Structure 1
Amino acid sequence: MAQALNSSVEPTNIYGGDEVSALVLDPGFTNTRAGFAGEDVPKSVIPSHYGLVGDGDARKLVYGDNAIHTPMSNLEIKNPIGRDGTVEDWDAAAKVWEYAITSRLTNFKPTHPSKNGLNDDAKDIDAEMEGVEDNERPLEENPLLLTETAWNPAKSREKAIEIAMESWGCPAFWLARNSVLAAFAAGKASALVIDIGATNISVTPIHDGLILKKGIQKSPLAGNWLSSQIRTLFNSPDTKVDLIPHFMVAKKTAVDAGAPAQATYHNFAIPPTSSYRSLQEERVLTEFKESVVQVWPGPGRLSSGTAQGTTNEDFAKSQPGRVFEMPNGSNQLWGVDRFKVGEGMWDEKAALPVPGEPAVTKSQTIPEMIKAAVASVDMDLRVNLLQNVVVTGGTTLTNGFTDRLVSELQQAYPGARVKIQAAGLTSERRFGSWIGGSILGSLGTFHQMWIAKKEYDEFGPNVVEKRCK
Structure 2
Amino acid sequence: MASTAPAAIYGGDEISALVIDPGSSWTRVGFAGEDTPKVVIPTSYGKEGDHVYVGDNDVHAPRPGMEIANPMIDGCVDDWDKTVKIWDFALSKRLYADPKEHPLLVTEPSWNPPKSRERAAEVAFEELGVPAFYLAKNAVCAAFACAKPTALVVDVGSAVASVTPVIDGLVLKKATFHNNLAGDNVNSHLKYLFNSRGIALTPHFMISKKISVDVGQPPNATLKSIEGLTSSFMEFERERILHEFKESTSQLLELPYSDSVANTKQPRSFEFPDGYNLNFGTERFITTEPLFQPQKYPLPDTSLDTNLQGIAELITSSVAACDVDPRSTLVNNVVLIGGSTLLQGFTERVNSEMIASFQGMKIRILAPGSSSERKYACWIGGSILASLGTFHQMWIGKKEYEEVGAVIVEKRCK
Give yes or no for TM over 0.5: yes
Q: For residue 40 of structure 1, what is the aligned residue in structure 2?
A: 35
Q: For residue 384 of structure 1, what is the aligned residue in structure 2?
A: 329
Question: What is the rounded CA distance, in whole Å, between the counterparts of 1:361 and 1:261 in structure 2?
Answer: 42
Q: For residue 76 of structure 2, what is the aligned residue in structure 1?
A: 86
Q: For residue 57 of structure 2, what is the aligned residue in structure 1?
A: 66
Question: What is the rounded CA distance, in whole Å, between the counterparts of 2:136 and 2:266 in structure 1?
Answer: 44
Question: What is the rounded CA distance, in whole Å, between the counterparts of 2:23 and 2:367 in structure 1?
Answer: 20
Q: For residue 180 of structure 2, what is the aligned residue in structure 1?
A: 220
Instruction: Please give the per-residue CA displacement for 1:6-29, whole angstroms capped at 9, x wherever unaligned.
Output: xxxx77523122333100000111
Instruction: Please give the per-residue CA displacement for 1:235-274, whole angstroms capped at 9, x wherever unaligned.
Output: 22xx432121112222211111111111121122x23111
Q: Helix, strand or coil for the counterpart of 1:251?
A: strand
Question: What is the rounded CA distance, in whole Å, between the counterparts of 1:287 and 1:457 in structure 2?
Answer: 47
Q: For residue 135 of structure 1, what is the aligned residue in structure 2?
A: none
Q: Helix, strand or coil for the counterpart of 2:174?
A: helix
Q: Helix, strand or coil for the counterpart of 1:339?
A: helix
Q: Once superposed, what is the RMSD of the aligned Cα atoms?
A: 1.4
Q: How does 1:225-374 map to 2 (within 5 A)?
A: 225-236=185-196, 239-268=197-226, 270-298=227-255, 301-303=256-258, 313-355=259-301, 357-359=302-304, 361=306, 363-374=308-319
Q: For residue 422 of structure 1, what is the aligned residue in structure 2?
A: 367
> Which residue, out of 9, 15, 22, partners 1:17?
9
Q: How does 1:42-57 map to 2 (within 5 A)?
A: 42-53=37-48, 55=49
Structure 1 residues 429 and 295, CA gap change in structure 2 (3 angstroms): same
Q: Helix, strand or coil for the counterpart of 1:232?
A: helix
Q: For residue 407 of structure 1, what is the aligned residue in structure 2?
A: 352
Question: What is the rounded CA distance, in whole Å, between the counterparts of 1:424 and 1:360 in structure 2?
Answer: 34
Instruction: Please give the per-residue CA displacement for 1:133-175, whole angstroms capped at 9, x wherever unaligned.
Output: xxxxx41110000011110000000000001111111110000
- Normalised TM-score (structure 2): 0.96
Q: For residue 129 of structure 1, what is the aligned residue in structure 2?
A: none
Question: What is the rounded CA distance, in whole Å, between the counterparts of 2:382 and 2:349 in structure 1?
Answer: 29
1:340 and 1:350 in contact (8 A); partners too: no
2:152 and 2:164 in contact (8 A); partners too: yes
Q: How does 1:115-264 map to 2 (within 5 A)?
A: 138-236=98-196, 239-264=197-222
2:295 and 2:304 in contact (8 A); partners too: no
| 1:354 Cα offset (Å) | 4.6
Question: What is the rounded CA distance, in whole Å, between the counterparts of 1:68 and 1:39 in structure 2?
Answer: 27
2:245 and 2:270 in contact (8 A); partners too: yes
| 1:104 Cα offset (Å) | 2.4
| 1:280 Cα offset (Å) | 0.2
2:3 and 2:399 in contact (8 A); partners too: no
1:51 and 1:78 in contact (8 A); partners too: yes
Question: What is the rounded CA distance, in whole Å, between the counterparts of 2:326 and 2:66 in structure 1?
Answer: 51
1:193 and 1:390 in contact (8 A); partners too: yes
Q: Which amino acid aligns with 1:106?
A: Y
Q: Which amino acid aligns with 1:155?
A: K
Q: Which moved more, 1:454-463 or 1:227-236?
A: 227-236
| 1:350 Cα offset (Å) | 3.8
| 1:297 Cα offset (Å) | 1.6
Question: What is the rounded CA distance, in whole Å, between the counterparts of 2:2 and 2:361 in structure 1?
Answer: 42
| 1:362 Cα offset (Å) | 6.0
Give identity over the alignment, percent. 47
Q: For residue 435 of structure 1, what is the aligned residue in structure 2?
A: 380
Question: What is the rounded CA distance, in whole Å, between the counterparts of 2:353 and 2:317 in structure 1?
Answer: 14
Q: Which moved more, 1:39-48 or 1:345-354?
A: 345-354
Structure 1 residues 354 and 461, CA gap change in structure 2 (3 angstroms): farther
Question: What is the rounded CA distance, in whole Å, between the counterparts of 1:422 and 1:408 in structure 2?
Answer: 16
Structure 1 residues 368 and 11, CA gap change in structure 2 (3 angstroms): farther
| 1:348 Cα offset (Å) | 2.8
Q: Helix, strand or coil for the counterpart of 2:288?
A: helix
Structure 1 residues 354 and 459, CA gap change in structure 2 (3 angstroms): farther
Q: Which amino acid aligns with 1:44?
A: V
| 1:217 Cα offset (Å) | 0.5
| 1:367 Cα offset (Å) | 1.3
1:214 and 1:376 in contact (8 A); partners too: yes
Question: What is the rounded CA distance, in whole Å, between the counterparts of 2:359 and 2:8 in structure 1?
Answer: 51
2:337 and 2:374 in contact (8 A); partners too: yes
Q: Helix, strand or coil for the counterpart of 1:151?
A: coil
| Count of residues in correspondence between the two structures | 410
Which of the pair has more CA radius of gyration? Answer: 1
The runs of 5 or more residues in structure 2 that have no matched partner are none
> Which residue, out of 26, 49, 53, partners 1:31?
26
